[in-house]
Every structure is written in C-alpha cells, then in structure tokens.
Structure 1
Amino acid sequence: MADTGDLLAAWSTAWHGEDEAWARARPGPSLAAVAARLSSVPQAFLDERVSVQALAGDIIGVSLRCLPFAGDPRVRLGAAIGLWLCASEEVVEPFSPALPPAGRAVAIDALALRVASVVDPTRWLSDDARRTEAARTFLLWCGCLPAGEDEQTARSLLAACDSLARDRALSEAYEGHRHRAEIARRLEEARRKEAAARYSSE
C-alpha cells in the first residue's frame, strides 16, 4: 500500500490550482443525483481483478495520473468509482447537465489520489457524509458546481466535509507538497520564458 503522503504529493504535483478549479466551475448536476449514482456502483467496478487502466481506456479514452498507484486498493477503488460515475451517463442516463468530458480524468484522479488517500472509498458507499465529500470533490474537479449552489456556497460546503482539512497533520503535509509543486511550476515557467527570450534575441 502506498504511503498517504506519496499519494497527496502525486495529486498536488499533477493537479494544482484549486482556486482555478473553482473559477472554472459552471452549474452542473445536483449533488443528490451524483451521490445517488455513487452509491449504486456495480460489483464489476468494485472487483479488484478488473484493471483500472482497461476501464479508463474503455470509458474515458485517456490515461489517469493515478495509474502508477493503482496497486494500492484505495487508489484502485477510488478510480473505479470515479470511472463508474462517468460510465453511468451511458449505462443509466446522462446527468442533467451532463458532466463536461474535459474534466473527467482530473475528477477521477482527485477521488483516487486526494480523497481515497484519507478516506477508504468503501466508506463513500455506506457513509452519507463521506459520500457527500466524494461527490462534491468529483463535481469540483469535473468543472461543476452542484445545481443550485454558487461558488461561495459550494466552497464552504466542501470545506465543511473535507476529511483532509480536518486531519491537521496530513493537511499541513499536503500544503507543503502544494507549495513545493507551485514553486517548481513557477521556476519551470520562468525558465521557458528566459529560453524563449534568449532564442528570440539570437
């Protein structure tokens, strides 16, 4: 099983910019609809013998950042549940409005790396508060605000149920990873600009 800190570091390195995610979010399906769909995951998606990589290829057609950690049962199950939410739009019926295709991989990674590292995904299926946390996280990273909520309301309600924020030690470690990832991103951006300026002056 992967170390929780490693999973959070992988998430913070791969997907930064929670403020950007909130800024991009548009009205989406209702929280109740997503939570209900989340609680009806078919057994085939929960079966540990089923390859998450194969599911991702069949359902969203792209690779997931969480795949290197798919040997961890929490990551595998978190990703599989996220993939079910996407697949269910064809198997059951589309959400209203439908989930934006562009955000699906990020939302699945958010469940698999960020939420599953702190809360066992089996609890998303049995515990209303943890299911709400997973549904809200999935919607945010998919690019959606829950129907009927504005950004401020959605932010405060997710913060209120965020397991990572409630675990002070993990939260502090995660903030450290996020800070280092942001510094690395800015340095890389500065290097690119400097190289471009050097190239154009030659």
Structure 2
Amino acid sequence: MADTETLLQAWAERASTDDEAWAHTVPGPSLDAVTARLASVPRDFLDERVSLPALFGDVLPAVAAPACLAFADDARVRTGAAIALWLVAADDLIEPLDPPLNTARAGVAVDALALRVASVVDPATWLVDDERRVEAARTFLLWDGLRPAGEDAATARALLDACDSLARDRAMASAYEGHRHRAEIARRLQEARQREAAARYSAE
C-alpha cells in the first residue's frame, strides 16, 4: 500500500493548480444529484476482485489512463477510483446528469478522488457520511471542470474549502504544498525546454 505522501505527490504531478481549475469551471449538475449517485454505488464497482484498469477501460475507453492506475493495488485508491468511475458510468446505466459530466476531463476527476481525497479519507465514508460525500462530490465536479448548479465559482470554492479534509490536516497540507510547488517548477522547466527545442528547430 502506498503511503499518503506518495499518493499526494502523484496527484500534485498530475493536476493543474486549484486556481487554474476553478478559473475554467462551468455550471454543472446539482450537488444533490451527484451526492445521490455517490450514495448508490453498485456492489460490483466496489468488488476488489474487479480489475481497476479493466473497469476504467470499460467506463472511459477513449480517455488516457489516469495516474491512479499505478496504485491500483492500494485499497483506498482502488475504491476511490471505482466510486468516481460509477459517477461517469451511471450516465449510461441510469440516466445522464443534467447538464452531463465532462467525459474528456473525467480521467483527472477520477485521479482527484483516488489520489487526493482517498489518500486522507477512507472512500467507504463517502457512502455513509454526508459531509464526506459532499466533499467527494464537490471535488469530482471541480476536476471535471464543473461547479454545482446555482453556485458561482467563488461560492463553490468556499464551500469545498470548508469541507476539505486535506486542508484540515496541517502537516499533510504543508507536505502537499511542497509537492505542488516542486511539480509546478518541473512543469515550467519542461515547458521552457520545449520552447527552446521549438526555437532551435525553427532556426534550422
């Protein structure tokens, strides 16, 4: 089983900053609709004998594999990802949310639940604890590029911040910010290298 810091580091390397994520959200389905779907995850999705890569391939065959698949043997990651995949799969198996989820961004949203939230909160609590279920629903929507219906970005952000389990753990939040900072530096260096390579290619 991976330790919490390893999972948070993987998330930091995967995701954009929170500011960027919030800047690109658009109105999504109601929070009640998403939390109701979270409370109705079928047993098949939670069955640890079901391969997470296979489940992801069935639900999101056209989406690049998420980072969480590297930790598929971690029970927290597997359960968190499976619950996130149910949110997507239910669009076809039950009915689409209104407005629908953003399938193109669903891989990032799956990672958000599997790596960021599940690393600090047991995903099983999302099914039985109202506040943790709201945290999971709001987190999924954010990284799917959406915010709950009827909320502007500032309101939605404040309400997610209020129930963010990672932010409540000061030591873990500090460690995560360190991972985030290093990941951002690495991204900027990579972008600079790509610009330099493109400039050299153009000059030739």
Q: TM-score, normalised by structure 1?
A: 0.98
Gaps of 5+ in 2: none
Q: Give the match for residue 8 of structure 1.
A: 8
Q: Give the match for residue 31 of structure 1.
A: 31
Residue identity matched to 1:192: Q
1:47-196 residue pairs with structure 2 within 5 A?
A: 47-61=47-61, 62=63, 63-196=65-198
Provide, for residues 51-75 of structure 1, a one-character-per-residue CA deviation record: whole Å limited to 9, x for no partner: 1111110111132210010100000
Provide, for residues 3-53 of structure 1, a one-character-per-residue CA deviation record: whole Å limited to 9, x for no partner: 100000000001122211111110000001000100100000111001111
1:201 positional shift: 2.5
C-alpha distance in structure 1 between counterparts of 2:202 and 2:94, whole Å = 54
Q: TM-score, normalised by structure 2?
A: 0.97
C-alpha distance in structure 2 between counterparts of 1:37 and 1:199, whole Å = 50
Provide, for residues 111-147 of structure 1, a one-character-per-residue CA deviation record: whole Å limited to 9, x for no partner: 0000000000000011100000000000001111100
C-alpha distance in structure 1 between counterparts of 2:53 and 2:105, whole Å = 18
C-alpha distance in structure 2 between counterparts of 1:40 and 1:90, whole Å = 15
Partners of 1:136 and 1:158 within 8 A in 2: yes
- Number of residue pairs the alignment of both structures matches: 202
C-alpha distance in structure 1 between counterparts of 2:143 and 2:195, whole Å = 29
Q: Give the match for residue 22 of structure 1.
A: 22
1:199 positional shift: 2.6
Partners of 1:16 and 1:178 within 8 A in 2: no
Aligned residues with identical type, % of pairs:
67
Which deviates more from structure 2 when the two are superposed, residues 191-200 or residues 22-31? 191-200
1:196 positional shift: 2.0
C-alpha distance in structure 1 between counterparts of 2:201 and 2:95, whole Å = 52
1:100 positional shift: 1.2
1:195 positional shift: 2.0
1:198 positional shift: 2.4
Calculate the aligned-residue CA RMSD, in Å. 0.8
1:167 positional shift: 0.3
Partners of 1:164 and 1:171 within 8 A in 2: yes
